Copies of this chain bind each other. A is one copy, B any other.
Amino acid sequence: MSKKTRVTIKTVAADAGVSVSAVSKVLRNAYGVSESLRENVQASIAKLGYRPNTAARAMRGKTYTIGVLVSDLANPFVPDLIYGIREAAEGAGYRIMIGVGRADRANELDLANSMLDQQMDGLVLIGPHMSADEIMRFGVQMPTTCVAYHADEATSFDTINADDVRGARLAVDHLIAAGHQRISMVTLDQFKSPENHVYYHREQGYRASMSAAGLDQYIDVHHLSDPIRRTNDWAHKYLQSSDLPTAVFCWSDLDAIQLMSAARQIGKDLPQELSIVGFDNSSVGELLQLGLTSVSQSALDLGNVAAETLVSRINGRTSAVHTLLKTELVARTSVMTMTPS
């Protein structure tokens, strides 16, 4: 751990034969340096391989670092989102640093605080489990943007979401247009402040479309508790039941894929016996070539917009922005068109 050789701004200044302040000015592109001095200093920087110490920077200025708080890394949607955030962040001169939570409030709060302690310039929260009030308190202390979290009324932070209601309506309307009436929905358990969660909004969309088509009597929502592990067991049981609907709309591809797998496994003929639509149009879905019809929300776009929004707030915007991005139906082969009987 030889620290003796660490190159600091002082080393550079000495090497270039100028003051520390001058080097700092060059680093920050500040006003008041001649072209020759700048070149001189930059040559020294390159020669010595100097890199400014972020920790020291953090004490007076900015860190040029954006914290990204993720609670569920296992969701295949998240990596794409992160790539999107990084892309836009780097374009604006920021790097990102990811913290992984445990999908519980306390832990997320702690992590977000720790990012505050590290003097990050801003924070992106992905599908946080905190309440809007808690996030509000954060937003006052540092620029904050949430993705996959609905809070239209929040003033101290921004939100970027896919238009989940409309996305769900696209999915359900697609099924209705294909002649389905008995359409069920699979979604997650909503323990607390459901209105913030994306799946709540998707359920609203489902209900709206069903009602609009006069299918209230067929509204049937299944709430799963464990997002990952339980779906398979549930699917097997569910598929055995005697009064299956003709179509199922799943809040996420992850569940839709498991439902499809389970159906195939017990010998169901898809999509003849059951039509399925997912949400996310995730890359895993495509990878598996299952032909899953899904609602596409571009994770890359969401990430891009989130980063841009955050940067604009870092740069001084104080009014909140709440953006909904367009969703789109990607029709594949998992939906069967009913012949009118």
Contacts and interface: CB of A to CB of B under 8 A. Distances in A.
Interface of A: 1-2, 5-6, 51-56, 58-59, 63, 65, 73-74, 76, 78-79, 82-83, 86, 95-100, 111, 113-114, 116-119, 140-143, 228, 232, 254, 257-258, 261-262, 265, 283-284, 287-290
Contacts of A111: 95
A55 B58 contact: yes
Contact of A261 (B73, B142, B228, B290): B290
A228 B55 contact: no
A74 B75 CA distance: 10
Given A53-B117, A55-B63, A74-B283, 13 more contacts: A1-B141, A1-B143, A55-B55, A55-B118, A63-B118, A73-B82, A74-B79, A95-B99, A96-B99, A257-B287, A261-B287, A261-B289, A265-B289
Central interface residue in A55, A73, A142, A228, by most chain B CB within 10 Å: A55
A11 to B, nearest CB: 15
A-B pairs with lowest CB-CB distance, top 5: A55-B58, A98-B98, A73-B79, A54-B117, A55-B119
Contact of A100 (B63, B86, B228, B289): B86
A232 B287 contact: yes
